Amino acid sequence: GAVVSQHPSWVICKSGTSVKIECRSLDFQATTMFWYRQFPKQSLMLMATSNEGSKATYEQGVEKDKFLINHASLTLSTLTVTSAHPEDSSFYICSARDVRSSYNSPLHFGNGTRLTVT
C-alpha cells in the first residue's frame, strides 16, 4: 500500500532554533502534500498545501515566514519551523495523495512529528 514516511518522529529543540521535518511518499508520486498541526486531543488543523515546483498555499492565520514549506520533488516535501518557540510545540503531520489518483481517492498520512521546543 501507499506509504508516507515522515522524519523525524520526534524532535526537541531550543527556543530560537529552526527545525526541518521531511515528508516522503515512498511508493508513489505526489504533486500535492498537505501539512497539518494537531494539538492534544484535538482535530487536525490544515496549515498549508505544498505544491511541487511552486509556492505553498497557506491557510489563513498561518505565518508563511515561520513555517517554510518546500516541495522540491514529486516525493519530498519539507516543513521548516523557523525560530521555534515553546508555543510551536505540537504534533505535525503530513499527508499525500498519489498523483495518478482523483480528489476522492485515499489521502495517506505520515506518522507525524512530535516537536517540543524548550
Interacting residues with other proteins (CB under 8 A): 4, 6, 32, 34, 41-44, 46, 49, 51, 57, 93, 95, 97, 102-112, 114
User: What is residue 87's three-state secondary structure?
Assistant: helix
In angstroms, what is the minimal distance from the CB of 30 to other proteins? 10
Residues 105 and 20: their CA atoms lie apart, in Å, by 28
- In the complex, least distance from residue 3 CB atom to other proteins, rounded to whole angstroms: 11
| CB nearer other proteins, residue 70 or residue 109 | 109
CB atoms within 10 A of CB 49: 16
3-state secondary structure of 88: helix
